[in-house]
Amino acid sequence: MPEAVRELTFAQAVREALAEEMRRDERVCILGEDVAEAGTPFKVLSGLVEEFGKERVLDTPISEAGFTGLAVGAAMTGIRPVVDIMFGDFITLTMDQMVNQAAKVHYMSGGKWKVPMVMRTTLGATRRSAAQHSQSLHAWFSHVPGLKVILPSTPYDAKGLLKTAIRDENPCVFFEDKMMYKLRGPVPEEEYTIPLGKADVKRAGRDITIVATSSMVQVALGAATLLEESGISAEVIDPRTTWPLDEKTLIESAKKTSRAIVVDEGYVRYGVTAEIAAVISAGAFYNLDAPVKRIGAMHVPIPFSPPLEDLTVPTENVVFEAARELCAHA
Ligand X SMILES: Cc1ncc(C[n+]2csc(CCOP(=O)(O)OP(=O)(O)O)c2C)c(N)n1
Q: Catalytic residue numbers?
A: 133
Residue 59 binds what, of ligand X, another protein, none (CB under 5 to 8 Å, by partner type)? another protein
**Interacting span for another protein (CB under 8 A) from 15-23, 32-40, 108-116, 245-253:** 32-40
Judged by CB under 8 A, which of 2, 61, 110, 111 binds another protein?
Answer: 61
Site string for ligand X, 39-78 (x = CB under 6 A): -----------------------x-x--------------
Judged by CB under 6 A, which of 19, 38, 93, 318 binds ligand X?
Answer: 93
Please name every residue paired with 172 in a beta bridge, in sequence order, or none if there are none.
118, 148
Query: For residue 305, what are the contacts with CB-CB under 8 A and spacing of at least 6?
Result: none
Q: Which is nearer to ligand X, 135 or 170 (CB)?
A: 135
Residue 17 binds what, of another protein, ligand X, none (CB under 5 to 8 Å, by partner type)? none
Residue 100 binds another protein (CB under 8 A): no
**Interacting span for another protein (CB under 8 A) from 5-13, 210-218, 249-257, 305-313:** 305-313
Judged by CB under 8 A, which of 104, 120, 133, 293 binds another protein?
Answer: 133
Residue 33 binds ligand X (CB under 6 A): yes
Q: Which is nearer to ligand X, 64 or 252 (CB)?
A: 64
Residue 53 binds another protein (CB under 8 A): no
C-alpha 330/C-alpha 318 separation (Å) is 21
Residue 91 binds ligand X (CB under 6 A): no
Residue 59 binds another protein (CB under 8 A): yes
Judged by CB under 6 A, which of 90, 140, 174, 267 binds ligand X?
Answer: 90
Taking the complex as a whole, how short is the minimal distance between the CB of residue 86 and another protein, in angstroms? 9
Residue 164 binds another protein (CB under 8 A): no
Phi and psi, residue 194, nearest 5°: -125, 130
Sign of the Cα torsion 312, 314, 316, 319 reads: positive
C-alpha 99/C-alpha 11 separation (Å) is 27
Site string for another protein, 75-94 (x = CB under 8 A): --------------xx--x-
Contact 241, 264 (CB under 8 A): no
Q: Which is nearer to ligand X, 64 or 207 (CB)?
A: 64
Residue 61 binds what, of ligand X, another protein, none (CB under 5 to 8 Å, by partner type)? another protein
**Contact positions vs another protein (CB under 8 A):** 33-34, 36-38, 41, 59-63, 65-66, 89-90, 93, 127-133, 298-301, 303-308, 311-312
**Contact positions vs ligand X (CB under 6 A):** 33, 62, 64, 86, 90, 93
